[in-house]
Structure 1
Amino acid sequence: MGYIEAVVIPAGARRIKVVEDKPSHSFLALKDSSERSINNDWKIELPGEFELAGTTVRYVRRGLWEKMSARGPTKSPLHLMVLLFHDQSYGIHYEYTVSLNTSQDRSSEEQKEPEYLYIWTHSSWQDCTVQCGGGERRTVVSCMRIANKTMEVVNSSYCHPENRPHPQVRLCNSHPCQYRWVTGEWGSCSVTCGKGLQQREVVCVYHLQNGSLIHTRDLYCQGGKPPPLQGCEGRLCLTVWEASEWSKCSSDCGQGVRTRTVTCTNPQGLCDPLSQPTQEEPCEDHSKCYEWKTGDWSKCSSSCGKGLQSRVVQCMHKVTGRHGNDCPVTLRPPTYRPCHQGACNEKINVNTITSPRLAALTYKCMGDQWTVYCRVIREKNLCQDMRWYQRCCETCRDFYAKKILHKS
């Protein structure tokens, strides 16, 4: 309660109007620089006309409702105040006009009314700077445009910056702050290895208006007290295990096991057994599942002299026995090998044709006798031997026929 200044109306103001938003027990007050006033110094005047700041101010009071107005212009600033008496909600509306052109005289103003009027107003109140303990709230000064008895907020550039009023300041939230819990940082763990405890400071404080804090009893703070203790684990023993590289898998075909060496490097041997890395784990390798399998050698292809033996060579899975193509080609065993059965009887070949090229044209061929070996005999260039030619005459004759045809 008491006098609160609402606004300072600058000199040169015209069409001054102040109206209460609703009837109340409070009073409007006005004074100029010469200490002439209305309802000032705890003296309530009767309604009427008063001379203030070089103009006539008309004061109207109808019951609990008040209004002040003046045509102006004022020759000195007017201080508009409110004498509050326990009103829970109180508001006023005030307006005045200041000429943007100071050299403009009254006659020109009366001849032509401006289309728009721009005035500074205290449009609203900002929030309090603090929630408790005493703070301030200020008015928001806005530039308003008046047209056809309506007002709207516009950009501040439309109003004269020299006439911009200072924000009004009012104390707010002066009630004491509530008690609250304040917690400190967590301390170090009580042990360097294994499970331990760490603590922090938790106190109930009271916030003074000057910003300082004082400790008080815990019972003044509402809500549960934050825990001052919590579990922790020392990290020193969790980082002293050293493990070697994993060994190769015990099986190169299928599932197996690989191992490594894990040692405790703590000088005191205080390694946490629960954090020990594993020394063995399952593994799987299929890189050597296939291998070459060979059959028995066949009989020699010739009963006398040089001949060939063959056998079956296959790539097979070690476990399933299935055929595959993953065996190393460089390690493939030979499929053929030469054999010797002793010297042949020379009388047998007395009447044979000794020239393979001639035989290719004249020898009566009844077909290959060794169809399995004839391809190998041809590739190994053994058709020149008449003994091989007789057994693979069809393959060898085709070989020489193409040679003769090529030369011709």
Structure 2
Amino acid sequence: FQISYAGATDSSVQFIFYQPIIHGWRETDFFPCSASCGGGYQLTSAECFDLRSNQVVADQYCQYYPENIKPKPKLQECNLDPCPASDGYKHIMPYDLYHPLPRWESTPWTACSSSCGGGIQSRSISCVEEDIQGHISPVEEWKCMYIPKMPVFQPCNIFDCPKWLAQEWSPCTMTCGQGFTYRVVLCIDHRGMHTGGCSPKIKPHIKEECIVSTPCYKTKEKLPKEAKLPWYKQAQEPEEGTAVSEEPSFILEGWSTCSVTCGVGRQVRLVKCQVVLSFSQSVADLPIDECEGPKPVSQRVCYSGPCSGEATEYTPEKAELLYGSLQEFDEQYDWEYEDFTECSESCGGG
């Protein structure tokens, strides 16, 4: 390291200190030959030693100094003379053709630890040797050190995981007052394709309330009127087959036939709350409470004339009693709506 002291102008004193290197690498002699005859191989290695005592020490002492470069192992052939016939060995051809050098072999990669977002897979590496008959057997790792060892780990599936992609919000379903706006939310993979695998817990919502600054006005004729008994014409009730508009409104289907062929029975009809979505020009069902005003009745009494042998005629009091029970039935049961399911198609309409 270096220390500088500044004194008068244009003068300085420097002290330079060097830490001596007291450990170094040295190459060993060749290890014994792997075969006594018929061709074998032998390797050298490197050892760390203390320059002062010339004693071998742990490798970590030589790794402190960047200047210390560990020698690479050397490999050479040895004992190439054919084995004597008396030993039962056949005459062999040159060593490099029939006695390959030891080599690294690996097992297949394991499955990736993650399906997306980056994972790790591993494999086992071992040093093997092939004999003259082609039989492969594991040997000590130092015999393969003359070539680099293959990696044991590698990254895998480094592409991004599928994520939710939300489209633009649609125009408000109402032209005045409060309505709803919708959007399409898709699960997209790293290639931009519609796929699955996105977490439903973090899915963006597809419906929001919206308020148009223009207030809504209703004429006096459209205000709810007092309901009359079912056998009278109800002027304020929407007519059957009313067209769906961009404002949520009740849509009524026709009454069913009377449940009995004589006496007092009942008729039912389907009552929906629907709206036209201006951005797609399609009709959507809404919860009943999204439509303003009282819900039209979905059941009423009907009279099909006296039954055979019945002297009592149908009376308004009896009809009113039955009508009241049907109204209670209407109030006890109602449709409930859950969230929309995933669209059946990713594009082109579904």
TM-score (norm 2): 0.33
Greater strand fraction, Structure 1 or Structure 2: 1
Computing the radius of gyration from Cα coordinates, the structure with the larger value is 1
